[in-house]
Amino acid sequence: GENVEQHPSTLSVQEGDSAVIKCTYSDSASNYFPWYKQELGKRPQLIIDIRSNVGEKKDQRIAVTLNKTAKHFSLHITETQPEDSAVYFCAAAYAGGTSYGKLTFGQGTILTVHP
């Protein structure tokens, strides 16, 4: 089955710096890659996702890049703010097949943005 590795496990940056979180996946059939942000005591919330027919997607300060050949994808947050502090999870899935509803998650990255 699919396996997703996420690095780093913790990331500390100063406000205004950029943050990059990387994930690798094992199943070349995976074609849907969402990123979730989970603040302490709250539900995971989708912040951006990408499908394998594109290499990059941006939404304001957040971007995701995908390298299908190397089977890795990354989350980039620019101009970080203290409210970006949270746990970030990457995930991978095969959309269009029989892996109904199944997201395979990375272990998470604790991002801390210092004012």
**Residues near other proteins, by CB under 8 A:** 32, 34, 36, 42-46, 49, 89, 91, 93-108
CA distance 22 to 88: 11
For other proteins, the closer CB: 85 or 104:
104
Q: Shortest gap between Cβ of 58 and other proteins (angstroms)?
A: 17
How many Cα atoms within 13 Å fall on the side-chain side of residue 2?
24
For other proteins, the closer CB: 34 or 113:
34
CA distance 115 to 108: 22
- Kindly state the tokens that stand for 38: 């989970």
Q: Shortest gap between Cβ of 107 and other proteins (angstroms)?
A: 5
Name the β-bridge partners of 101: none
For other proteins, the closer CB: 102 or 114:
102
Strands 10-14, 109-114: pairing kind? parallel
Q: Shortest gap between Cβ of 37 and other proteins (angstroms)?
A: 11
